[in-house]
Amino acid sequence: MRRPLRAITSGYWLQRSAIIGSHFIGGRLRRRTTIDGQNEMTNKGKERTPLVAVYPGSFDPIHNGHVDVIRRSVAIFDEVIVAVTYNPHKDAALFTGDERVEMIREVIRDLEPRARVDKFTGLSVDYAERIGAKVLIRSLRAVTDFDYELQMAQMNKQMSPGVETVFMFSNPRLFFSSSHLIKEVAGYGKRLPELVPELVIERLRAKLKVR
């Protein structure tokens, strides 16, 4: 019987936890070193297809809660694609799809090529299948998120059985972070360096015409 790979905890509850379907990542494994010097587990003695994960969202704008999930995901998967969802015909976002892609690319530049950014329209599970990704990453900030996310994960599984959903818990320090609240507060001229990358703050202030 194979033993499940235990999630790594570092400073906060289940920081490194990842549940794929109803199974923990496991198997016959050996260690390798990731780009940040941490150990990662890979299949022993055989070649395998790189495990690509998609982290979809509107990211309007990206904040440090998103960045935290991206950095932790890169330590688990071979490639993480931050996928900006947009609708060119009826998009109520503050930033255009291209503006969001540009900001994200600047924020995660140090993680390339393990992480990259793209944009898409339509269903995230269709996008994942189209590019050959096997995993969708979803972040959970609180228990209230779980019911909706579970329903979405089950529907995606029904449509695309080959794509799994991984839930990652947000850093407790960033539980209350949301793009909507950040835009609202920024509109009153407040700077939020603990929650938003500096370059995003500057873009927000310019977009909202705040001095």
| pLDDT band for position 45 (cuts 50, 70, 90) | low
Of the candidate CATH numbers 1.10.760.10, 3.90.1150.10, 3.20.20.140, 3.40.50.620, the domain formed by 19-207 belongs to 3.40.50.620
141 is catalytic: yes
| pLDDT band for position 192 (cuts 50, 70, 90) | confident
For the CA atoms of 14, 65, 51, 151, what is the dihedral angle to 10 degrees? 80
Q: How do the domains of the chain map onto residue ranges? A: 19-207
Q: How far apart are CA 152 and CA 8, in angstroms?
A: 26
Which residue of the set 170, 179, 183, 203 is catalytic?
179
Note the pLDDT tens digit of each residue in 123-180: 999 999 999 999 999 998 877 788 899 999 999 999 999 999 999 988 888 877 889 9
66 is catalytic: yes
| pLDDT band for position 74 (cuts 50, 70, 90) | very high
134 is catalytic: no
Which residue of the set 105, 114, 116, 141 is catalytic?
141
Rounded to 5 degrees, what are φ and ψ at 192?
A: -130, 65
What number is the average pLDDT over the span 190-204? 91
Which residue of the set 3, 23, 46, 90 is catalytic?
90
* Residue 106, token pair as written in the block: 């600047």
* Residue 59, token pair as written in the block: 């990211």
- For position 44, what pLDDT does the model report? 56
Whether 208 contacts 196, CB under 8 Å:
no
Which residue of the set 58, 63, 66, 177 is catalytic?
66
Angle at CA of residue 120, ends 104 and 163, nearest 5°? 100
Cβ-based neighbours of 185, under 8 Å, separated by 6 or more: 192
Note the pLDDT tens digit of each residue in 98-128: 999 999 999 999 999 999 999 999 999 999 9
- For position 191, what pLDDT does the model report? 85
Name the average pLDDT for the chain: 81
Q: How far apart are CA 76 and CA 198, in angstroms?
A: 27
Please determine, for residue 92, whether its predicted confidence score (pLDDT) is greater than 90. no
32 is catalytic: no
Q: How far apart are CA 59 and CA 67, in angstroms?
A: 10
- For position 176, what pLDDT does the model report? 77
